Structure 1
Amino acid sequence: MWTFFHKLGSPKWFYAISARLQPWFWALAVLLIVSGSVWGLAYAPADYQQGNSFRIIYVHVPAAFLAQSIFISMAIAAVIFMVWKIKIADMAAKVMAPIGAAMTFVALFSGAVWGMPTWGTWWIWDARLTSMLILLFLYAGVIALRGAFASRDSGSRAASVLAMVGVINIPIIKYSVDWWYTLHQPASFTITSRPAMPADMWWPLVIMVLGFYCFFVALTLMRTRSEILRRESTKHWVRELTRGAR
């Protein structure tokens, strides 16, 4: 296991293995998102209370899940970078931040669109909504810190510290509906309990969540490969690679 861990930290090895993994994740992402969208938007029955407006769940919930998972991944990468000084972890954390910020914005925007017919308002300072907005600010802070220092290493360390500290917001987001009175509904489904929705509404949601995660992995691999080429441009293997590409 440690051998694999050390290999994963090699930019050259990661660049090679990610080239083989990336097409599979792209294919899975397209297959799952297309099938989940068609099933959820065209064939799933309308909700007995919300009607067809509930269908935004097939975008809102996967985006919200992914927004939180990406920040956790960034925090883990930050720990690996700070403790073991593995460059790949810092590269991955850097490329993940804009993806996480985009998913957080999608979750907030889709939630606002969903909230209007459901709650009668676009926004309310609800505990879940407010903590998700804080997550967006944390993503913005991580991205800004990387460009706020003349030294790339200083920016990486500052961004890593913020990611490790900011991850405390994730359990607040998750348990906000249990800790405080909120308008936001509880979790749509959990691992330990039976879903409240019927199967023909729940399965397309699961498919969409998996599709979003495959999309995230594929995009992260692609962006990390580009970051490797940029940072390792002076290395012999990169020069050979770019020379062969010409």
Structure 2
Amino acid sequence: MPNANNLHNPSFLQRLWQGFLTTVGTREFFRIFAPWVKWLAGLATIFLLIGSIWGLAFAPPDYLQGNSYRIIFIHVPTASIALSIYFAMAVLGVIFLVWRIKTANLVAQAIAPIGFLLCVLSLLTGSIWAKPTWGTFWVWDARLTSMLILAFLYAGVMALFMAFESSPNRGKAAAILSIVGAVNLPIIKYSVNWWNTLHQGATFTITDAPKMSADMWLPLLLMVIGSYLLVAALAIYRTNTLILRRDQNKAWVKEYVRQH
């Protein structure tokens, strides 16, 4: 373990940084994370199967909303992950712009369509849930409006990735939009607290007990965990696909293709 003097040694810090860079290259990312896909997908399947069967078949109906509340087992995970993915894209954008780590750009490109799909799905399930609850499929509620803006931001990021696909500046514009658009995330998160909205507050919080009975929030928790695991598997798989396409002329990719 290095002593305190070594920590202030520029050569040590430089070697430490160079060592870190050797783990974030495209080849290293592929080698490290490729085996994770099947395990993450397997765990996701288990969590999602148990959570969906429990939530849809065995959880009791809500005392006010009846069985219509069950769409929460899809709506909450999709909305939560849509926010998380965009936050991850903003962080990856900073990493790419500041440190020029190309793998960060590829991960952002891989997860953007996933986030867009989940954002749209959260809007659709929210609208379906709103009809029996509010009497209408849509209101220009602060939460719904800011979530709709997030969908447009996702679409813009994907469009920029495609527009600059053959450009040396590929990923820069998308990274900038991801970072700028992140200002919308706290608006989505705290809109129900800042404004008088129809949308209910958070189902889970760190400081407060769940607002649902255990036989309702436990399957919901399983669905959330399973959804995150599934998205992680898809993110790695899609990133590795982009890596193979990008580095298709490199020797290690040709060797990998030959072996598989």
Q: TM-score, normalising length from structure 2?
A: 0.91
Match for 1:186 among 201, 212, 217?
Answer: 201
- The residue type equivalent to 1:67 in the other structure is A
CA distance in 1, matches of 2:165, 2:211: 52
Contact 2:52/2:73 (<8 A) preserved: yes
Moved more, 83-92 or 152-161: 152-161
Distance 1:222 1:4, change over 3 A: farther
Q: Secondary structure at the match of 1:99?
A: helix
Pick one of 64, 88, 110 that aligns with 1:73: 88
Q: Distance in 2 between matches of 1:189 and 1:218?
A: 24
Identity across the alignment (%): 52
Q: Residue deviations 1:61-93, cap 9 Å, x none?
A: 000000000000111111111111111100000
Return the letter of the residue paired with 1:176. Answer: S
Tell me the number of residue pairs that the alignment of Structure 1 and Structure 2 aligns: 245
Q: Distance in 2 between matches of 1:8 and 1:105?
A: 34
From 204, 210, 224, give the equivalent of 2:239.
224
Identify which of 28, 35, 40 aligns with 2:50: 35
- The one-letter amino acid paired with 1:189 is F
Q: Which residue of 1 aligns with 2:12?
A: none
Pairing 1:176–2:191 present? yes
Instruction: Give me the whole-angstrom Cα distance separating, in 2, the residues matched to 1:5 and 1:75.
Output: 21
Match of 2:144 among 106, 111, 129: 129
Aligned to 2:4: none
Summarize deviations over 1:214-239 as a string: whole Å, max 9, x none. Answer: 01100001001100000111211112
Q: Give, in whole Å, the separation in 2 of the partners of 1:81 and 1:171.
A: 23
| 1:57 maps to 2:102 | no
Structure 1 runs not aligned, ≥5 long: none
CA-to-partner distance for each residue in 1:136-165, whole Å, 9 max, x for gaps?
A: 000000001112236434231000000000
Give the superposition deviation at 1:4.
7.0
**CA–CA distance in 2 between the matches of 1:21 and 1:141?**
30
Q: Which amino acid is the alignment partner of residue 38 of structure 2?
A: P
User: Residue 152 of structure 1 aligns to a residue in which SS?
Assistant: coil
Q: Specify the structure having the higher radius of gyration (Cα).
A: 2
Partner letter of residue 150 of structure 2?
L
The secondary structure found in structure 2 opposite 1:186 is: coil
Distance (Å, rounded) in 2 between the aligned partners of 1:131 and 1:110: 16
Alignment counterpart, residue 87 of structure 1, candidates 102, 113, 116: 102
The question of whether the paired residues in 1 share the 8 Å contact of 2:164 and 2:171 is answered with no
State whether residues 115 and 123 of structure 1, in contact with CA within 8 Å, keep that contact through their aligned partners in structure 2.
yes
- Alpha-carbon distance, 1:59 to partner: 0.2
Q: 1:138 to 1:7 in 2, by over 3 A?
A: same
Q: What is the DSSP-based 3-state SS (H/G/I as helix, E as strand, rest coil) of the residue aligned with 1:237? A: helix
Quote the Cα distance in structure 1 between the aligned partners of 2:69 and 2:165: 47
Per the TM alignment, residue 13 of structure 1 is displaced from its structure 2 partner at its CA by 1.4
Q: Which ranges in structure 2 are unaligned for 5 or more consecutive residues?
A: 1-15
Q: In structure 2, do the counterparts of structure 1 residues 53 and 3 end up closer, same or farther at CA, with 3 Å as the change threshold? A: farther
C-alpha separation in 1, matches of 2:165 and 2:68: 48
Quote the Cα distance in structure 2 between the aligned partners of 1:2 and 1:42. 52
The separation in 2 between residues aligned to 1:49 and 1:42, in whole angstroms, is 18
Q: Tell me, in whole angstroms, the C-alpha distance in 2 between the residues paired with 1:224 and 1:3.
A: 23
Contact kept in structure 2, 1:146 and 1:152, CA below 8 Å: no
Residue in structure 2 matched with residue 104 of structure 1 by the alignment: 119
2:34 matches 1:19? yes
Give the superposed CA RMSD: 1.4
Aligned CA distance change for structure 1 residues 150 and 221 (closer, same or farther; 3 Å) = closer
Say yes or no: does 1:164 pair with 2:153: no
**Structure 1 residue 127: Cα displacement:** 0.1
